[in-house]
């Protein structure tokens, strides 16, 4: 069987309709909650479905908004197939305004655990450093797979929670990743 090469590139507004090609579905066996400043594990056993029309539209709107405001998107492709992307938001966050947020991050189900998310996150981190940020701020979905991924990439639980992002997604696990020099 031939191996398909994974390629990466900066995405544009014209790529917005490709977001529907991502298979975000997954089996969720564990989620986390923050209680008294620590992660608590909660067992689960359900399937998270792919996009519905409303969620896809919301994701597309966020993508367009961030790119129009100066954010950047980075995508992964297996041949012509779109298989993953991440969006670095435009707005600086944190008391010292030295953080940029990873606003969206998805890798299609059949392509996870192959280094694609790591590559996308690293590219977003490099861009954030070029823009003068010292940290990535990550409002991670509460699933074990997402939180474990970000922790494996050097992220830690944020000591300073961004209230605006918390209000949008109160169940998310808020994390910070230092961007070395």
Within-domain flag for 167: yes
Q: Mean pLDDT check: name the lowest of 12-16, 23-27, 94-98, 157-161.
A: 23-27
181 or 152, higher pLDDT = 152
The single-letter DSSP state of residue 181 is: -
Report the pLDDT value the prediction gives residue 140, as an integer from 0 to 100.
84
pLDDT digit string (tens) for 158-170?
Answer: 888 888 888 888 8
What distance in Å separates the CA atoms of residue 95 and residue 115, rounded to the nearest whole number?
32
Question: 144, 31 in Cβ contact below 8 A?
Answer: yes
Angle at CA of residue 90, ends 166 and 174, nearest 5°: 25
Q: pTM of the prediction?
A: 0.90
pLDDT digit string (tens) for 52-94?
Answer: 788 889 989 999 999 999 999 999 999 889 999 999 999 999 8
47 or 176, higher pLDDT = 176
For residue 24, the enclosing domain spans: 6-178
Report the pLDDT value the prediction gives residue 30, as an integer from 0 to 100.
66
Within-domain flag for 113: yes
Three-state secondary structure readout of 104-120: EEEECHHHCCCCHHHHH
Q: How many domains does the chain contain in total?
A: 1
Residue 123 belongs to domain with CATH number: 3.40.630.30
What distance in Å separates the CA atoms of residue 174 and residue 139, rounded to the nearest whole number?
5
What distance in Å separates the CA atoms of residue 49 and residue 131, rounded to the nearest whole number?
35
Question: 33, 169 in Cβ contact below 8 A?
Answer: no
Within-domain flag for 90: yes
What distance in Å separates the CA atoms of residue 117 and residue 140, rounded to the nearest whole number?
13
């Amino acid at each position: 069987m031939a191996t398909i090469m994974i390629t990466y590139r900066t995405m544009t507004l014209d790529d917005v309709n490709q977001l529907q090609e991502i298979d975000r579905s997954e089996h969720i066996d564990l989620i986390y909650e923050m209680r008294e400043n620590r992660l608590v594990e909660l067992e689960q056993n359900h399937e998270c479905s792919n996009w519905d029309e409303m969620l896809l539209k919301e994701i597309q709107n966020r993508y367009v908004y961030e790119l129009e405001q100066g954010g950047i998107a980075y995508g992964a492709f297996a041949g012509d197939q779109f298989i993953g992307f991440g969006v670095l938001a435009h707005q600086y966050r944190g008391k010292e305004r030295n953080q940029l947020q990873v606003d969206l991050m998805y890798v299609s189900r059949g392509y996870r655990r192959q280094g694609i998310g790591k590559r996308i996150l690293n590219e977003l981190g490099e861009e954030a450093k070029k823009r003068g940020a010292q940290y990535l701020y990550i409002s991670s979905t509460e699933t074990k797979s997402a939180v474990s991924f970000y922790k494996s990439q050097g992220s830690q639980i944020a000591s300073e929670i961004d209230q605006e992002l918390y209000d949008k997604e109160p169940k998310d696990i808020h994390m910070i990743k230092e961007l070395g020099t």
